[in-house]
Every structure is written in C-alpha cells, then in structure tokens.
C-alpha cells in the first residue's frame, strides 16, 4: 500500500513590525483554506511565522524583545489556527519565538512545532544552528542577532512517527548543514519540514549577488537526496521592514528534484502529493547506511568544530 501524504507549504509574504498576530493568523487561515481545497493533510508555515523577523534589530529593552515571543502555545492569538486546522483535519508545522520557564529560569528559543490533524502538538524542535552575532553592529544596514535573542536548541534533531510516516524538523540556517539531515536520516526520516527567513543580501556574509536562492535549494536538494527523504520548506518572503527576503518555498523529492516551488514573494500555497515510500529507492541502495557508511573514518565530524589545515 502506498503512503501518499498531500503536503502544502504556506509561504508568507512580509509581516510589518506593527502587524498584529491576529492579522497574521488571518492570513494563515486563508492559506489553510486553500490547502484544504487541495486535499492537503499537512501544512508547513515558515520560521518565526507570527511576527516580523525581529532579530534584524538590536533592541535594548527586554520587555520590547519579549513582545515578539509566545509565552505559551497555543495561546489566544494562535488558538483560531489550532481550532480551524483541527476542524478541517489538517496538521501543521509552525515556527515561532518561544519564551518558557524551565528549571526555574526563563529561556528563549527559535522553535517549531508539529501539530496533528486533531490539533495536538506531536513534537517540538528548537533551532540549533543560530546564525549571526550577539553584539550590536549599528554600522550594518541591518543586523542578524539570533545569537543574542535565542539559546541553542535543547532537543537535538528528533523525528516522530506521524502522518503515517517518519517526520523531522529543522529551522532555516539548520538546512545548510549536512549534519542536520544525516542525524535525522540515521533515524529513518522520510520527510523534513522547515521554515526560513533568508535575506536576499546578507551584510554578515556577502555573497556573489543572486546566489542566495541557488544555495537555498542546493542545500535542501542535497539533504533530501543524500538521506532519501522529502523536504518541505516554507519561506517568509519579500520586502519586510526594508529588507528583501528570498522566496523559493519548495517541496523536494528524495530524488533531489524540486517538485513544487513558489513563484511569488507573497502569501502563496504550493502543494504536492508526496509518496513517503519513494525514499526507499535510495535508502535501500546507494544510501543504504547500514551497508555502506564507514563511521570509523568520520570521527572528526563530532570531535572538531572548526577546520584545522595541516601544518605547512
Ligand atoms: N533565519 C536564518 O537562519 N537565516 C539565515 C541567514 C542569516 C543566512 C539563513 O541561513 O538563511
């Protein structure tokens, strides 16, 4: 019996600093209704989907920063999304800024959750590869202060049995690291869902212009192919508070091919009926890990963080 999972990716256009969560949730509900029309059972929303991408600003006042965080999930602003998705029987992935009390301390994470078609939180992931810097760099056209506002995720890269398959999550910059996919691949992941906010030009890592979209897809296509899994990725796109973000939201097959891709930099739904068994073609042949991996030669990957070239 084939396992076809109809998946939607809900790209969001820009969210202004003063746009309310209620307004954003309305936009998300509209995309949810479109996903329902297409028969989707799972809908993927972007990273930090409920607010503008606030890490671009150095903000002194902690209370002002905390206003961008969700203090519980679901909460009254997001409850309509949980209710409507459950009413329609659609599960979803949602990225948001999480503020929580654990071990008697306040913690802040860049978080994503996977919600079942019945509206229950199945899994939570906290971003591990936090890009940018923690110090104020006012000379930059805009900043990237994830290292200031978030702690490193605490869960590793777990996977969950859900949607009749094995699903995992990562967030934005995580998608550029092969380790992200491989750790999930070693748990038999069949689909990785993720959201991203990627500036078209980043002042911290200026690239040759026009390559951001290419590198976005290159990383995810490689991760999908090398681990025999699907990748469903939702961008927050377009000009947000003076910064242009790439779109390019996509669904990638275990073949490494992009099977659906957003055309705009606005709110847009893409979808595809994903055969969760397709990855077996790779995980039972070229990428049969048990047969072919040589872990006795991979020690440096966990022993060493930065590259150390041989002495001259
Ligand atoms: N939100 C992100 O993690 N963005 C990074 C940018 C800063 C390079 C990304 O990898 O897309």
pTM of the predicted model over 0.95 = yes
Query: For this structure, is 120 an active site residue?
Result: no
Q: Percent of the chain scored above 90 by pLDDT? A: 96
Q: Is the pLDDT of residue 205 over 80?
A: no
Average pLDDT over residues 152-170: 98
Average pLDDT over residues 216-232: 98
Q: What domains can you pick out in the chain, each with its CATH number? A: 4-303 (3.60.110.10)
Average pLDDT over residues 195-204: 89
Count CB atoms within 10 A of the CB of residue 283. 19
Measured distance CA(300)–CA(224) in Å, rounded = 23
Q: Percent of the chain scored above 70 by pLDDT? A: 98
Report long-range pairs for 200-204 (Cβ below 8 Å, ≥24 apart): 200/244, 200/245, 200/246, 201/244, 202/144, 203/140, 203/141, 203/142, 203/143, 203/144, 204/131, 204/132, 204/133, 204/140, 204/144
Measured distance CA(122)–CA(23) in Å, rounded = 26
Beta bridge partners of 258: 252
Q: Is the pLDDT of residue 209 over 90?
A: no
- Ligand 1 pocket, residue 53 CB under 6 Å: no
Average pLDDT over residues 141-154: 97
Which ligand 1 atom is at minimum distance from the Cα of 198?
Answer: 11
- Ligand 1 pocket, residue 274 CB under 6 Å: no
- What integer pLDDT is reported at residue 1 of this predicted model? 61
- Rounded distance from Cα 47 to ligand 1 centre (Å): 10
- What integer pLDDT is reported at residue 202 of this predicted model? 79
Q: In this structure, are residues 146 and 187 in contact, taking their beta carbons and an 8 Å threshold?
A: no
Q: Residue 207 — pLDDT band, cuts 50, 70, 90? A: low
Beta bridge partners of 233: 194, 250
Express each pLDDT in 103-130 by its tens digit: 999 999 999 999 999 999 999 999 999 9
Closest-CA residue, ligand 1 atom 11, reads: 198
- Rounded distance from Cα 129 to ligand 1 centre (Å): 9
Catalytic residue among 172, 229, 250, 274: 172
Query: For this structure, is 127 an active site residue?
Result: yes
Q: Is the pLDDT of residue 204 over 80?
A: no
Q: Is the pLDDT of residue 61 over 90?
A: yes
Closest-CA residue, ligand 1 atom 8, reads: 198
Q: Residue 206 — pLDDT band, cuts 50, 70, 90? A: low
Measured distance CA(191)–CA(273) in Å, rounded = 12
What average pLDDT is seen over the chain?
A: 97
Q: Is the pLDDT of residue 63 over 70?
A: yes
Express each pLDDT in 231-257 by its tens digit: 999 999 999 999 999 999 999 999 999
Beta strands 42-44 and 91-102, pairing class:
parallel
Average pLDDT over residues 1-28: 96
Q: What is the token pair recorded at 83?
A: 């209710």
- What integer pLDDT is reported at residue 203 of this predicted model? 78
């Amino acid at each position: 019996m084939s396992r076809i999972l109809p998946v939607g990716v809900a790209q969001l256009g820009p969210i202004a600093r003063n746009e309310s969560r209620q307004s954003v949730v309305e936009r998300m509900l509209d995309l949810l209704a479109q996903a329902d029309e297409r028969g989707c059972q799972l809908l993927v929303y972007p990273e930090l989907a409920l607010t503008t991408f606030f890490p671009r600003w150095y903000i002194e006042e902690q209370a002002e920063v905390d206003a961008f965080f969700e203090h519980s999930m679901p909460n009254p602003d997001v409850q309509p999304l949980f209710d409507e998705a459950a009413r329609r029987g659609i599960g979803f992935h949602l990225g948001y800024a999480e503020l929580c009390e654990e071990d008697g301390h306040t913690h802040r994470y860049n978080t994503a959750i996977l919600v079942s078609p019945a509206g229950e939180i199945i899994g939570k992931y906290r971003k591990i590869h936090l890009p940018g810097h923690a110090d104020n760099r006012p000379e930059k056209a805009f900043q990237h202060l994830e290292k200031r506002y978030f702690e490193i995720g605490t869960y590793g890269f777990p996977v969950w049995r859900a949607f009749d398959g094995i699903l995992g999550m990562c967030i934005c910059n995580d998608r550029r690291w092969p380790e992200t996919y491989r750790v999930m691949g070693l748990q038999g992941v069949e689909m990785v869902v993720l959201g991203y906010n990627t500036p078209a030009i980043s002042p911290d890592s200026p690239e040759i212009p026009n390559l951001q979209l290419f590198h976005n897809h290159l990383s995810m296509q490689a991760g999908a192919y090398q681990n025999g899994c699907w990748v469903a990725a939702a961008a927050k796109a377009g000009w947000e508070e003076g910064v242009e973000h790439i779109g390019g939201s996509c669904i990638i097959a275990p073949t490494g091919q992009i099977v659906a891709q957003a055309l705009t930099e606005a709110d847009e739904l893409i979808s595809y009926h994903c055969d969760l068994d397709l990855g077996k073609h790779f995980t039972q042949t070229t990428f049969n890990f048990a047969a072919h991996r040589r872990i006795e030669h991979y020690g440096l990957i966990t022993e060493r963080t930065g590259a150390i070239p041989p002495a001259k």
